[in-house]
Amino acid sequence: MDSLVSFWRHICRHKYLITLLIFGVIIVFLDENSLLRRLKLYQEANELRSEINKYREDFEHSTRRLNELAVDSGAIERVARERYFMKKPNEDIYVFEEDIEDLE
């Protein structure tokens, strides 16, 4: 019984510190909006922003390429020859494995 009273007095002396520790544990680990969850969401948002930038650059590149194809009729022929290995009836083409790997 004496140890229980001693324990209770110890808790009463340090009640503010214990309350702050419990509050800290709840905020950092247990809460729905905990700091750990916020850090994870912040990292995911950064990854998504970088992915958006990558797709935006791809879109701009494709738009420039489409505009180039719309303006220059020789560009269509160049793309057909480079990308799809098309040829004129009197030509021979040679395809190297490195060329195929570059297109993929």
Give me the percent of the chain exceeding a pLDDT of 70.
Answer: 94
Q: Record the tokens describing residue 84, joined without a space.
A: 């799809």
Contact status, residue 43 vs residue 37, Cβ threshold 8 Å = no
Q: Which parts of the chain fold into alpha helices (H)?
A: 2-13, 15-25, 35-71, 73-84, 97-103
- The answer to whether residue 94 scores a pLDDT higher than 60 is yes
- The answer to whether residue 99 scores a pLDDT higher than 80 is no
In whole angstroms, what is the distance from residue 90 CA to residue 2 CA? 107
For the full predicted model, state whether its pTM sits above 0.85: no
More confident residue, 92 or 59: 59
pLDDT in tens, 33-62: 888 889 999 999 999 999 999 999 999 999
